[in-house]
Structure 1
Amino acid sequence: MTLRPIRMRDQRAWREVNRRNRDWLRPWEATVPPAPPGHVAQRPTYRQMVRHLRSEAGAGRMLPFVIDYQGRLAGQLTVAGITWGSMCSAHIGYWVDEAIAGRGVMPTAVAMAVDHCFRRVGLHRVEVCIRPENGPSRRVAEKLGFREEGLRPRYLHIDGGWRDHMVYALTAEEVPEGLLDRWHRARPSASQK
């Protein structure tokens, strides 16, 4: 499994995985809120999305990745809202192909991204905000040892409405050995499953 920057040439594979998982992702995926009167809200095209992600990455505000699993695009992970100065913080959002969910791919990808943020980028804190109803995503954060910090009411527009989210967080001091190493040590071996 690898994390790598998203590319324009990923369009066909990204669209195929996203289309196939449309119903599975709908309850958790951010949506564009209704536009004010006189304006039209539109979902961006793939090319517009990638251009925006690259622009934000170039400005130091975002790290957009795709997840490759067994040589195929299997999801997306974005480190966003990067804030410098006295905060040095960001949040992570992600999705994965339902066909590989439950195989440890997402916790591994999140652990890799957090280690990159703490060790290479120089961030101090990383958050993951998850809808309370999203048990599998909450388990990802819990397996990795993220602290549950509370509820953010009506935090993000998802599936047609403003939805509450649980906040999970980690700071660099909490994983001095690295999150990926801790995840590998805590993960049951195949013989224990």
Structure 2
Amino acid sequence: MVRPLRRSDAGQWQRLRQEDAGWLAPWEATLPPGAGFPSTSYSTMIRTMRRRARQGTALPFVIDEGGRMIGQVTVNGITGGSAQWASIGYWIASSHAGRGITPVAVALVGDHLLDVVGLHRIEISVRPENVSSLRIVAKLGLQEVGLARGYLHIAGQWRDHRIFQELADTPPGRLLDRLTATS
């Protein structure tokens, strides 16, 4: 299941991030030189995420299994007005990878954004060499929009990303329905 990120997730979040530092590092956004210092503490991260959620620009979710945090789905860049879109990012503990949990979590969040929040478009960006994430967007049936050169600063360099989207003009519950139809 997915649920909102809570302060009480701090210990589990820190443990997962420490245990999987090598697993996550190749895919995690970093700050380019001169952009300040990254926050590595949970309290700073959750304070920032909660502030952004109150402002309506982000939604942080936990991937939860049996009452334990095993990953995160974060909605960033929520934009209203004439755009009505947001970007989805995610990670899961290596111990739970490859079990079909992440596609379900992303589908639940994506359907929520399109069907409940009322966004017109959601986007997921994936590094071309991230085979696991490419499988996730394929399972969800997202449409590839194209390649964005130098899209995000990751692991000390500006990295290209393939951009995928889903629009609201398809039936409600579309992403989760696609997963259950193919399993």
Give the TM-score of the pair, scaled to structure 1: 0.91
User: Offset at 1:177?
Assistant: 4.4
| Runs of 5+ consecutive residues of structure 2 not aligned to the other structure | none
- The answer to whether the 8 Å contact 2:125/2:163 transfers is yes
Matched, 1:17 2:12: no
User: Offset at 1:46?
Assistant: 1.1
Matched, 1:134 2:130: yes
What one-letter code is carried by the residue in structure 1 that aligns with 2:48? H
Deviations 1:23-65 (A, max 9, x none): 01110011122126xxx52434211110110011001111101
- The answer to whether the 8 Å contact 2:7/2:43 transfers is yes
What one-letter code is carried by the residue in structure 1 that aligns with 2:159? R
Superposed structure 1 runs of 4+ greater than 6 Å apart: none
Q: Distance in 1 between matches of 2:173 and 2:7?
A: 35
- The answer to whether the 8 Å contact 1:5/1:66 transfers is yes
User: Offset at 1:71?
Assistant: 2.8
What one-letter code is carried by the residue in structure 1 that aligns with 2:12? A
Matched, 1:4 2:3: yes
Larger mean Cα displacement after TM superposition, 66-75 or 159-168 = 66-75
- The answer to whether the 8 Å contact 2:39/2:45 transfers is no
> Identity percentage over the alignment?
46
- The answer to whether the 8 Å contact 2:152/2:160 transfers is yes
Matched, 1:45 2:41: yes
Q: Aligned in 2, Cα 1:12/1:104: closer, same or farther, shift over 3 Å?
A: same
Deviations 1:104-137 (A, max 9, x none): 1000001000111011101010000011010000
Larger mean Cα displacement after TM superposition, 117-126 or 42-51 = 42-51
Deviations 1:158-177 (A, max 9, x none): 11111111000010123444
CA RMSD after TM alignment: 1.3
Q: Where does residue 85 of structure 2 map in the other structure?
A: 89
Q: Where does residue 26 of structure 1 map in the other structure?
A: 25
What one-letter code is carried by the residue in structure 2 that aligns with 1:35? G
Q: Distance in 2 between matches of 1:109 and 1:96?
A: 10
Give secondary structure in 1 for the equivalent of 2:179: helix
Give secondary structure in 2 for the equivalent of 1:166: strand
What one-letter code is carried by the residue in structure 1 that aligns with 2:76? A
Give secondary structure in 2 for the equivalent of 1:27: helix
Give the TM-score of the pair, scaled to structure 2: 0.95
Q: Aligned in 2, Cα 1:93/1:66: closer, same or farther, shift over 3 Å?
A: same
Larger Rg: 1
Q: Where does residue 191 of structure 1 map in the other structure?
A: none
Q: Distance in 2 between matches of 1:177 and 1:126?
A: 14
| Runs of 5+ consecutive residues of structure 1 not aligned to the other structure | 188-193
- The answer to whether the 8 Å contact 1:89/1:124 transfers is yes
